[in-house]
Amino acid sequence: MTRNKLNNILGLPGIIFLSIFFFTPSLFIFRYIFGSRTRTGKTSFDKIYFDSFSQLLDFNVVPIINKSVVTAFFVTLICFIVGYPFAYYIKKLSTTMKYFSLFLISIPFLTNFLSRTYSWKILVSKNGLITKYVSMFYDVSSLLFTDFAVVLGMVYVYLPFMILPIFTSLENIEDSLLESAKDLYANPFKAFYYVTFKLSLPGVIAGVVLTFIPSLGAYIIPQILGGSKSMYLGNFTVLQFIQASNWPLGSLVSLIILLFMVFAINLLFKFEGQRNL
Amino acid sequence: MNRTVFLKLNYIFVLIFIYLPIFLMVGLSFNESKYFNQWTGFTLQWYEQLFQNQNILNALYNSMIVATVSTFLSILFGFGIALYLFRVKNRFTSFVEKFIYVPIVIPDVTMAAMMLVFFIFLSNYLEIKLGIATTIISHTAFNISFVTVLIGSKLTRKLRVLEEVASDLYANHFQVIKQVTLPFVMPALLASVILSFVLSFDEVVISMFVTGPGSTTLPVYVFSMIKKGVTPAVNSVSSLMLIFSLILVTGVLLLSRKDNLK
Amino acid sequence: MTYALKFENVSKSFSTSDAIKDISFEVEKGEFFSLLGPSGCGKTTILRIIAGLEQPTSGDVYINEQLINDIEPHLRPVNTVFQSYSLFPHLTVKENIIFGLKIRKYDKKEIDSSLEEVIALIDLKDHLKRKPHQLSGGEQQRVAIARALINKPEVLLMDEPLGALDLKLRERLQVEIKSIQESTKITTIYVTHDQTEALAMSDKIAVMSKGEILQVDDPETLYEKPTNKFTSNFLGNPNVFKGVIKNEKFISDEFEEIAVSNTKNGPASIFIRPEIISFGFNKVTSPNVNCVEGVVEHILYRGSWLDVIVSVNNTKIEISKENNFDLSIPDEGEKIYLYWYINKTWVVFDDQK
């Protein structure tokens, strides 16, 4: 058997599988967007409809987009403010402590998402630890089902997504660079800003994208911590599919989430590209 | 405030922030009291009840089947694609190389929606029912990419040279794969087996869309329990799921560390 | 004449560098043949074509009179020692060495006796059970050589095998490789960019530049009678002057008349190697030598020899002298006379390639 034949036998089955079960389904979304919900909840395709687009306005989707974007923005900001110093600190630890800390951060990165979100629910529900603390200052009985709880929950779940890429880029900066900056009369703050921070920007951007995208499309966290009344893009989409049976609108909103993602990733590549010039 | 002190406090705060809720949840799963704000004593009763709950056992069974089969398929397909991309360089493969990232970064809600509309549309023409099979297919569709990328990161120039050495030393194509390629990527292969199992076992949103009645997976079932409130049953099943994935993930991290040291 | 390897008008084009153009050469059985040239000149490409790891775009390659163009790498009777050792990290030293025999399903007896044979040549007894990463660079390279040698290939290919080692070790292994080659009589193609290595080890050297072979000769001829500028420059560190040859005299901006032994006239460069120039404090007049007057500018003390840079007629001539007891070291700024044999002044005309 020739080498080429063997290579094709290795690669093509998986590629064919993905074409049928990933690429083709993604095309179906476009077809559904131009369908129309019938009274029975089924979708009709007898012609090209634009119902889903008009429903974006009728069903007040725009404020939901706004709210999702603002929430994702704050989640990303908080993750950055907390995550950057964390990554910076563990870079300077001894090798053993560094890898142990990384280990501690990597574990939640991959472990059961649902359990971790739920564990946070315990803290913010009525009489929960955090609720108790906050209620000493504000008059609240439960933080559960508030936007505050949603933001905290997302920060909780997505923080490792911010820390790990920042750490990686910080780790790649050579100490000699900082030393030479100091040698060239930069004060510690300037040395940090012009050398460390600028060189860690790729990690920061990766962290921002990795935090922003899942926050924007999150479904589980708003559902558990925000309750059914608090609408974000993710749970609005699910609502259209599972309860409202409005698949064209659901398809359109899920596509909007995807577009935000594509936009964010493009931004990432653009920054990377500029750096490499 | 002193800079170092601030960094240290932030470090401690983050670790507490991440681990306190988890420890609290696991602790509460052993609490005799039904109410989470009072500790009345240690018990294993919630776990005992868990293993008598037929719904949970069914869901666990479904999850195990889905995770096992989809892991098997994604390793088969994903490893194949990784080798293919490593050995063949042309316009098609450079397109595949980029496209392979899409299933990883696509928001789960979007992927769930598109798998659902796809299967329902097909069901108009074919004998297709939402159930275990559709869940396995959907999980495989996103796991393939993780496997390809993870193994692909180990298919380096160094391996290419070793493969050339082997063929220079009379090994044919199959012998090269068996004697050199496989041993070289073995740690990454094991890591991706565990990772795709964990990703499939923990997945909620896509499963929720494409499972049918009777084929609910464990996370989907637990999710419906969580929506109802904080209960000892959720505490215990949640703790179990967490510890299970924790053990597997620790395995992955140790494997990759060992691999890097080599 | 029987050849072990023959290239006939072989070309290989790449989008980047390392292409080769219309290469033809023959290697005799048992010969130590070096491909010498700067990086990117295509020497590794030739090696990879012999090994079957690259396909030539055009041309034919023969091993023992057999056309091997379409034979897959694992079926060719050649073995390679790669630049970066490239030992299998998951196998022990012994498993590495016997890899080629095991793959071809030799029985245990044959493997054991071959192993013993090769270990008699290359001392690795104490390392057989170790993993490659436990060995030093020099030891790893020995394993790589043993791993190729044990298969008794028709042609042994070596791709800068000593490139990653330090000078001392490199010199020791040069001797080792040379003596192994002499005792086994295995036809060897040796790729290197190190001219001293090529000169010391080879029976024949092919000098390459930009994908072409410029000259194939034994080391002595190559060094003393290069046929082209590139070779004369690449080997050694000669003093080069550009000018015109007229009536057995070299004339340039700096020199009025330097006698040469060529009768041809025309624009040319002369090459005077630093080690053929002698110096003294008195003018030497002899029909056999050229003598010029100069002022010592720098003396570079190199231990076993000295490099003296002498300023002559607004240009510089470098001479190098063995540091022995007879040598009287001049002072910087001192006036000295340089002289060398006329027939050692090597001329390459501009119309020579």
- Measured between CA atoms, the residue of chain B closest to residue A35 is B117
Terminal Cα distance for chain B, rounded: 43
C-alpha to C-alpha distance for C41 and C193, rounded to whole angstroms: 10
Nearest C-alpha neighbor of C178 from the set C26, C37, C31, C27? C31
Helix intervals (H) in chain B: 3-28, 45-50, 54-87, 91-99, 102-105, 108-123, 132-152, 157-168, 173-176, 182-202, 205-210, 218-228, 232-261
B9-66 pLDDT, tens digit per residue, is: 999 999 999 998 889 889 889 988 877 777 888 888 889 998 899 999 999 999 999 9
For chain A, the average pLDDT equals: 85
Task: Sort A236 into a burial class: Cβ within 10 Å, 0-12 / 13-18 / 19+.
Answer: buried
Q: Percentage of chain C with pLDDT > 90? A: 40
CATH code of the domain made up of A54-275: 1.10.3720.10
Ordered by start, the domain boundaries in chain B are 1-43, 53-261
Q: What is the pLDDT of residue C249?
A: 83
Q: What is the pLDDT of residues B62-118, one digit of tens each?
A: 999 999 999 999 999 999 999 999 988 889 998 998 889 889 888 899 999 999 999
pLDDT in tens, C97-121: 999 999 999 999 999 999 998 988 8
The domains of chain A are located at 54-275
Neighbours of chain A (3+ CB pairs under 8 A): B
pLDDT the model gives residue C1: 61
At C16 the pLDDT is: 64
Question: What is the pLDDT, as a whole number, of residue A272?
Answer: 65
CA angle C266, C272, C277 (to 5 degrees): 140
Residue C144 carries which side chain, given as an amino acid letter? A
pLDDT at C63 over 70: yes
Note the pLDDT tens digit of each residue in C18-44.
Answer: 789 899 999 999 999 999 999 888 899
What's the pTM value of the predicted model, to 2 decimals? 0.82
Report whether pLDDT(C269) > 70: yes
In chain B, which among 136-165 make CB contacts under 8 A with chain C?
A: 158, 161-162, 164-165
Beta carbons within 10 angstroms of residue B206's beta carbon: 26
**Which band of pLDDT confidence, cut at 50, 70 and 90, is reported for residue A130?**
confident
Q: What are the pLDDT digits (tens) for A210-261? A: 899 889 989 999 999 887 778 899 989 999 998 888 899 999 999 999 998 8
| Residues B244-251, mean pLDDT to the nearest whole number | 87
Helix (H, G, I), strand (E, B) or coil at C287: coil
For residue A2, pLDDT over 70 is answered with: no
pLDDT band at residue B259, thresholds of 50, 70 and 90?
Answer: low
Banded model confidence at residue A276, pLDDT cuts 50, 70, 90:
very low
Please check whether residue A85 touches B, CB under 8 A.
yes
CATH architecture of B53-261: Orthogonal Bundle (1.10)
pLDDT tens for residues A140-198? 667 777 888 899 999 999 999 999 999 988 988 877 777 777 777 667 777 788 888 88
All structural domains of chain C, each given as residue ranges with its CATH number in brackets, are: 3-228 (3.40.50.300), 237-349 (2.40.50.100)
CB contact under 8 A, B24 and A129: yes
C73 interfaces chain B, CB cutoff of 8 Å: yes
Residues of B whose CB is below 8 A from C14: none
How much is the mean pLDDT over chain C?
88
Q: What is the pLDDT of residues A13-71, one digit of tens each?
A: 999 999 999 999 999 888 889 988 887 778 888 788 888 888 888 888 899 999 999 99
Q: What is the ipTM of this complex?
A: 0.90
* pLDDT tops 80 at residue A139: no
Interface residue B189 vs chain C (CB under 8 A): no
| A277 has pLDDT over 50 | no
Give the distance from residue B55's alpha carbon to the nearest chain A alpha carbon, in angstroms. 18
Angle (deg, nearest 10), helices B108-123 and A201-217: 50
Residue of higher predicted confidence among A136 and C131: C131
- Give the model's confidence band at C163: pLDDT under 50 very low, under 70 low, under 90 confident, else very high: confident
Residue B168 to residue C84, Cβ atoms within 8 A: no
DSSP secondary-structure letter at C330?
A: P
